[in-house]
Amino acid sequence: MPDAMTAAAAMPQSEDALVARAAGGDAAAFERLMRRYNQRLFRTARAILKNDAEAEDALQEGWLKAWRALPGWRGQARLSTWLVRIVANEALGRLRRTTAQVIPLEAAMVSTDRDTQDALSEAPGHGPEATLARAEVRRLMESRIDLLPEQFRAVFMLRAVEEMSVAEVAEALDIPEATVRSRFHRARALLREGLAGEMDLALGQAFAFDGARCDRIVARTLAAARDEGLCRDS
């Protein structure tokens, strides 16, 4: 989609300007917003659903719901917080419909797999071997986050990985700030127990959502929006 990407790149950076144009049906402006927040919103959905494909579907539907609602949005909250709430609600709805199981805490925190233990004890360094080791640690981090109890996962993802404030997370998930703090601290404690000090190594790259995956969601969402008549091409 080179023409669309070129148009999106030429859009103004001001979020208010992008919102105004997107609310009027400007596809390039909405694409800019999607690319700006895709990773945060994917991580939100992924933390709840624990499945990449389902999280992508929830993300796409969340974007469409946001676009439909955008003309009536009056900036009552930060745009990012508003978007997180929409996607989180979509993901939670899907979770309730599939009646996902919660893994027992004791099973979540114990691993006797030799490869897992070797990867966690690998010292960070440079070169291809170190790069592969870090990729494995990242995979382990993602799997450990998946094993957190449901009520901790989204809070941890938004606070630790996306670095949202306590107030923003509380507003996005519609829970008290004290609950955000207690769940976040408990989640970190559980992960430290499981990862034995390797937690911080992979946080910044956990559940990355860029490149081809981001392009795919943008293309699918724009195609669906055109079918609904939500947008026009610039």
pLDDT per residue as tens digits for the range 44-71: 999 999 889 999 999 999 999 999 999 8
Report residues of the chain scoring pLDDT below 70. Answer: 1-12, 99-130, 132-133, 137, 195-206, 233-234
CA-CA distance, 200 to 220, in Å (whole number)?
33
What was the pLDDT predicted at 107? 41
What was the pLDDT predicted at 42? 94
Judge whether 27 and 233 are in contact, CB under 8 Å. Answer: yes
> Which amino acid appears at position 95 of this protein?
L
Judge whether 141 and 200 are in contact, CB under 8 Å. Answer: no
Structural domains of the chain, ranges and CATH numbers in brackets: 2-228 (1.10.1740.10)
**pTM as predicted:** 0.67
Burial per residue of 62-99, b for 16 or more beta-carbon CB atoms within 10 angstroms, e otherwise: bbbebbeebeeeeeeebbbbbbbbbbbbbbbebbeeee
Q: Which helix (H) or strand (E) holds 60?
A: helix 52-69
What was the pLDDT predicted at 120? 40
pLDDT per residue as tens digits for the range 159-181: 988 889 999 999 999 999 999 99
